[in-house]
Structure 1
C-alpha cells in the first residue's frame, strides 16, 4: 500500500545541525498536523453526507418496495379479473355455438315444414279436386232427383218389385244408394274440415318455428353483444396488465439502480473511512515525530557544555546564522497542487470535451489513446470500486475505476472508463500519478479512448455533480 507522506530526519549527527533542522521540522509538523486535521474533518463531513444519502436511498428503496408490492397486488387482482372474463367469454362462446346449433336445427325444421306445407298444398289441391268432383256428382244427383220427383222414385222402384226377393233386392239397392250419398256427404264435409285443419296446423307450426328462430337469433345477438363487451373488458384488462407489468419492470430497474447506488455509496463511505484512518495515522506519526524532536531538543539543551563567552558567542553566532542568517529550509513538496488541481490521467490528445454532445450531456473528457496506454490516478486517494463490463449498472462504461479524493477539504470522485485492464482493487490506496489501469475500448465505446469524469463529492447515477475536468487539471 502506497502511503504518500512527508519524510523527516530521525537522528542528527551534530548538536548544531540537529538544533537547526529541529526548529524547521517542528514548524512543518505543526503545519502538516493542521492540514491533516482539516482533512480528517472534511472526511468526517463527507461520511456524514454519505450516511444521509444512504438514509435517503434506503427510504427510496422502502417506498419502491411498497410500490412494487402494490403493483403486484394489482397485477394479481387484474389477473383474476382477466381469468373471470376469460371464463365468461368461454361460456358465452359456448352459448353462441349452442344458439347457432339451435338456429341451424330450427332452419332445418323450417325447411322440413316448408316441405310439409308444399306436400299439404298438393294434398289440399287433390282434396279440392275430390271435393269439386263430389260436388259435381251431388249436384247431378240432386238435379236428377229434382227432375224425377225427388224421393218418390225410390218408392216406385220398391213397389215395382215382381217378387219378394226382387223387393228385398230393390230395397237393399235403394238403401245402398242412400248410404253412399250420405257417406259422400259426410266424407265431403270431413275432407273440408281436414284440409282446413291441416292448413291451420301447418301455418301455426311454421309461425311457431319462425318465432322460435327469431327468438334464437335475438338471443344470439345478445350473446354476440355480450361477447363484444367481454372482449372490450378483456382488452382493457390486458392493456392495464401490460401497463402494470411495464411499471413493475421500471420499479424493479429503479430499485436495482438505487441498490447499485447504495453499493457505490457504501464503497465511497468505506473509502472515506480508509482515507480518514490514513490521515489519522499520518497525524499520529507527525505528532510522534514532533514529540521525539521536542524530547531530543530538550535533551540537547540539558547536555550543552557550559563554555566561556567566546564559545558561547560562537555558538550564538552559529545558532544565529543557522536560524536567522540564512533562509529557512524549504518545505517538502506537497502530495499535489494545493489549489485543488489534478494531474492529467493519461498522455494523449483530447478528442471530446465536457458538455452537450449529439443532443445529450457528455459528463467527461475523452482522451484518444491506443489500447494499453497507461492510465494514472489524477490525485492521491482510495479506490472506491472497480467494475467490469459484464456487471450490471455500469455496462456503458465497460471496465471502469472510481477513485475518491480529498483536496483542501473538498471531496472529489474521479472516474476512468472503457479500460482495457484494471490494475487496482477496491479499497486500495493510490498516489497521484500511480498507474491504475490501461486504456481500451470496452462498453459503449466508439473507439479506443479514455473517458475521464470528475465529480464534486461522491459519484451518483444522475451525474448531477459532475464538473468539467479541465477546470481541475493542471
Structure 2
C-alpha cells in the first residue's frame, strides 16, 4: 500500500486533571489555549488545501485510467484483427499445402507414366527394330531378284487365268503387307514421339505449378511470421497497459484512503478545537472566579490589617521514563529498524515494534489523545491511529493487525483506556501487535521513530 503523505492534525488532549476554584489560573494558560486553537485552525486550512490537491490528483489519475482503458480497447481490436488475419493466412497456408500435396501426387503419377512410357519405348524400339530387319530382308530379296519386274514375271508366268488371279492376289497381298508394315512403323514412331512430348510437357507444367505454389506458400509463411511478431508486440503492449492500469487503480485506492484519513483528521481537528474552546471557556470562568476570590481575600485582609500571601500549585510531573505506556501485555518479538521483510522479502524498514500477543489480548491507548482513524489499512489490517499533544508537541501512535476496534474517528481517549484487541489481520505471519510512534503527523515510515525511546 502506498504510504500516505499527509499534513496531519494536531489533536488537543482531553484535559484529565480537574481545575478547582482553589487553583491559580494564569493568563499564560489561556494564551496557550488560544495559541493551540490558532494552530488547529491553521491545520484545518492546510488540510483543506491538501484535500484539494488530492482531489486534483485523483481526477488526473482517473483521466489516465480512462486513457489506459481506451488504449487497451484499441489494442484489443488490433489484436482481434491480427488474429483474423492469422487465421485467414493459416487457412491459405493449409490450402497451399494441400495443393502442393496434390501437385506432388501429379508429379509422382507423371513420373510413373514416364516410367511406363520408357517400357513402351523399349517395346516399340524392339518392334521397330524387327520391322526394320524384316524390311531390310525384303529389300535385299527385291534387290537380288531385280526389283518390281519379278512381280510381273510372277504374274505373266501364270499357266491359266485362274493361276493368274491367284498370282495377282498373292502379289497384292505381299505389297499390302509391305505397305502396312511401313505405315505401322511410321505410326509407332509418331505415337512414341507424341506420348513422350505430351508427358514431358505435362511434367514441366506441373513442376512449374509446384514452384509457383512453393513461392506462394513462402510468402504466406513470411506473412504469418510478420503477423506473429505484430501479435506478440500487441500482446506485450496489452500486458504493459494492464500492469499500468493495476498500478493506477492501486494509486487511486491509496488516494481514496488519503481522502478518508484526511476526512477523519478534519473531524478530529474540529473535535479537538471544540475541546480547546470548551477548556478555554472553563479556564476563563475559573480565572474570573479566582480573581473574585483574590479580591475578596484582599478586602478581608484590609479589614483584618493582616498581610496574606497566596501560593500557586506545582506543575504536574510527567513521571516515568517515557511518555507512553505499553499498549498490550507481551514481550517484544521484533524491534524497530531495517530487516528482511518476512512476507515480501528484501531489506525494508520495520517502522515499529512487534509485541507478542495472542488474538483477543486487550489493547490500550498508549497515551491520551483523539482517534484519527479506525479501520482497514491495506497490509496493516485493522488499524487505529491516535493523535496526541504532549507538552506542546504532537505525536501519532499506530496499532495494527487488530482483531477488534472499540473506538471511532474523532473520539477522545485517555491513556490506558481499552480501544480494542490484538489479532492477526492484514499482512501478518502470526498473532501480534504492531505498534508505531511518529513525530508529528503520520507520514508513513518517514515520520516513524523507535517506540522504545518513548515507552515507560
TM class by shorter chain equals 0.7 to 0.9
Provide the rounded CA distance (Å) in 2 between the counterparts of 1:314 and 1:292.
21
**Pairwise CA RMSD:** 3.1
CA contact (8 A) 1:350 1:366 kept: yes
Gaps of 5+ in 1: 11-20, 305-310
Provide the rounded CA distance (Å) in 2 between the counterparts of 1:83 and 1:195.
59
Tell me which moved more, 288-297 or 427-436: 288-297
Instruction: Classify the secondary structure of the residue corresponding to 1:433.
Output: coil
- CA displacement, residues 20-75 of structure 1 (integer Å, 9 cap, x when unaligned): x5xx64x33x3332121122122223223323333333333233223222222222
CA contact (8 A) 2:401 2:426 kept: yes
CA contact (8 A) 1:5 1:282 kept: no
Q: CA deviation at 1:145?
A: 0.8
The residue correspondences of 1:66-465 to structure 2 (distance < 5 A) are: 66-291=63-288, 313-317=302-306, 320-321=307-308, 324=309, 326=310, 328-330=311-313, 333=316, 341-346=323-328, 348-358=330-340, 359-369=347-357, 372-387=360-375, 391=376, 393-394=377-378, 396-446=379-429, 448-460=431-443, 462-465=444-447
CA contact (8 A) 2:336 2:351 kept: yes
Give the TM-score normalised by structure 1: 0.82
Gaps of 5+ in 2: 1-12, 341-346
Tell me which moved more, 74-83 or 419-428: 419-428
Instruction: Classify the secondary structure of the residue corresponding to 1:46.
Output: helix
CA contact (8 A) 2:387 2:395 kept: yes
Q: CA deviation at 1:196?
A: 1.1
CA contact (8 A) 2:322 2:453 kept: no
CA contact (8 A) 1:89 1:227 kept: yes
From the superposition, tell whether residues 282 and 470 of structure 1 become closer, same or farther in structure 2 (CA, over 3 Å). Answer: same
Q: CA deviation at 1:252?
A: 1.3
Provide the rounded CA distance (Å) in 1 between the counterparts of 2:154 and 2:216.
74
Equivalent residue, structure 2, for 1:13 = none
Q: CA deviation at 1:470?
A: 3.6
From the superposition, tell whether residues 408 and 372 of structure 1 become closer, same or farther in structure 2 (CA, over 3 Å). Answer: same
CA contact (8 A) 1:382 1:405 kept: yes
CA contact (8 A) 2:389 2:395 kept: yes
Q: CA deviation at 1:143?
A: 0.8
CA contact (8 A) 1:46 1:411 kept: no
CA contact (8 A) 2:14 2:369 kept: no
Q: CA deviation at 1:260?
A: 1.4
Provide the rounded CA distance (Å) in 2 between the counterparts of 1:109 and 1:348.
90
Equivalent residue, structure 2, for 1:58 = 55
Instruction: Classify the secondary structure of the residue corresponding to 1:386.
Output: strand
Equivalent residue, structure 1, for 2:5 = none
Instruction: Classify the secondary structure of the residue corresponding to 1:452.
Output: strand
Instruction: Classify the secondary structure of the residue corresponding to 2:401.
Output: strand
CA contact (8 A) 2:47 2:266 kept: yes
- Residue of structure 2 aligned with 1:43, choices 15, 40, 44: 40
The answer to whether 1:4 aligns with 2:15 is yes
Provide the rounded CA distance (Å) in 1 between the counterparts of 2:325 and 2:359.
21
Provide the rounded CA distance (Å) in 2 between the counterparts of 1:119 and 1:372.
98
- CA displacement, residues 258-306 of structure 1 (integer Å, 9 cap, x when unaligned): 22122112211221121112212222333344456667878x699x7xx
**Which protein, 1 or 2, shows the higher relative CO under an 8 Å CA cutoff with sep ≥ 6?**
2
From the superposition, tell whether residues 446 and 245 of structure 1 become closer, same or farther in structure 2 (CA, over 3 Å). Answer: closer
CA contact (8 A) 1:340 1:407 kept: no
